[in-house]
Amino acid sequence: MSTEIKVPTLGESVTEATIGEWLKQPGEAVAADEPICSLETDKVAIDVMAPHDGVMGEQLAAEGDTVTVDALIATIESGSGGAAAPAPAPAASAPAPAPAASEGSTTDAAVLSPAVRRAVLEYGIDPATIKGTGKDGRITKDDVIAAAKNKPADAPASAGSVAAAPARQEERVKMTRLRQTIAKRLKSAQEDAALLTTFNDVDMSAVMESRNKYKDIFAKKHGIKLGFMSYFAKASVLALKDIPAVNAQIDGNEIVYHDYVDISIAVSAPNGLVVPVVKDCDKLSFAGIEKAIADYGKKAKEGTLTMEDMKGGTFTISNGGVFGGLMSTPIINPPQSAVLGLHRIEDRPVVRNGQIVIRPMMYIALSYDHRIIDGREAVTALKTIKEAIEDPTRLLIDL
């Protein structure tokens, strides 16, 4: 008996997706609720699960194909299945097969994604020697790059020999649907909004002292680490409540003001930057915010973010400091009107009470849509955030 596998409902206003990767090949056994392929939409990646135990049947769409909701993409056959169809036998002159893979790695070329296969060929790495860190032990492109960096250097050429210069190569890779959407939205933000950025710097001494003093007690009580993001989220709430325009958005000829604060937190995912939303930050505790951020970070890494996770958002915080960025002009996340950019902390000389002292300083940036937010409002909002971070007591007494 054959069961049809169709593209599931993808979310509000999302009608099509791209086949990102087939996780099971025809003839392989599948278990109920096991992922058989991943779909890439313009917002998130979604796994399609097997409805019951069986054998992977025919695949009616290839990786990279665009498919619509409810389209037939594969079948699941009854039976216990076996290994995927073997690759063609190598020619007599082919080299001996690679040694067996280490435990936990995925080396069959059929289950390597196109990007990973290209990386394996480019770096000349035997996938059997790589331990996968991806979902279900699959090898990722980062695994290949890491293996290439740790690969022993080739023995030096013997005297009199001349090493051949490596050929110059180019590669064309189709943009994922998520990357295409990111590109369109960022370009649209530049074209439609009157973007402007204001900067300030923050002395992180008080927050760092507070965090170091309470981080162990906090982790023991709440089961989560105390990070800097919750401080900035709470400081942003103060600023957005004082300057409502920074938490508003334009809808046609109207300005929509929100009496709640849903903060989009920019998170790095395998396919690009995503911005899941921590809802009701104005009502959440520090622990609630940290737990929500940690959960989204884990889901982003695993590729399990849902449409609901990405929905809404009235303001965005983007932390380029985790990558070492000193200063940037972040782009707003439409239809929002402002985004706060955080950067790396570094010791710098500053003047305090007429004396030059060393303090851990961070540049912060607020990019905003000048059509709705005046310069005075933007500067005031950023100054409120600065003051709350430099004196965290303000976060407790709503000042």
Reported CATH class of domain 195-397:
alpha beta
Output the pLDDT for position 81: 59
pLDDT band at 189 (very low <50, low <70, confident <90, very high): confident
pLDDT mean across residues, the chain: 83
pTM, two decimals, is 0.66
215 touches 221 (CB < 8 A): no
Report how far residue 120's alpha carbon sits from residue 228's, in angstroms, rounded to the nearest whole number: 38
Q: Are strands 346-352 and 72-77 parallel, antiparallel or unpaired?
A: unpaired
Reported CATH class of domain 109-149:
few secondary structures
> Is residue 91 pLDDT above 60, yes or no?
no
Neighbouring CB atoms inside 10 A of 90's CB total 10
Please compute the mean of the pLDDT values over residues 338-354 and round it to a whole number.
95
Output the pLDDT for position 74: 92
Is 2-77 assigned to CATH 1.10.10.10?
no
280 touches 313 (CB < 8 A): no
**CA 71 to centroid of chain Cα atoms:** 28
Domain with CATH 2.40.50.100 in the chain: 2-77
Please compute the mean of the pLDDT values over residues 258-276 and round it to a whole number.
85
Please compute the mean of the pLDDT values over residues 365-377 and round it to a whole number.
96
- The two three-digit tokens of residue 313, written as one number: 């958002």
Report how far residue 305's alpha carbon sits from residue 307's, in angstroms, rounded to the nearest whole number: 7
Output the pLDDT for position 88: 39
Output the pLDDT for position 15: 80
Strands, E, within 78-194: which ranges?
A: none
Which residues belong to the active site?
Answer: 370, 374
- The two three-digit tokens of residue 316, written as one number: 């965005």
Domain with CATH 4.10.320.10 in the chain: 109-149
Please compute the mean of the pLDDT values over residues 175-189 and round it to a whole number.
77
pLDDT band at 84 (very low <50, low <70, confident <90, very high): very low
Output the pLDDT for position 95: 43
Per DSSP, 77 falls in state E
Output the pLDDT for position 90: 41
> Is residue 110 pLDDT above 50, yes or no?
no
Domain with CATH 3.30.559.10 in the chain: 195-397
Output the pLDDT for position 248: 96
356 touches 191 (CB < 8 A): no
Task: Concatenate the DSSP letters of all residues of 18-57 into one string.
Answer: EEEEESS-TTBEE-TT-EEEEEE-SS-EEEEEPSSSEEEE
pLDDT band at 97 (very low <50, low <70, confident <90, very high): very low
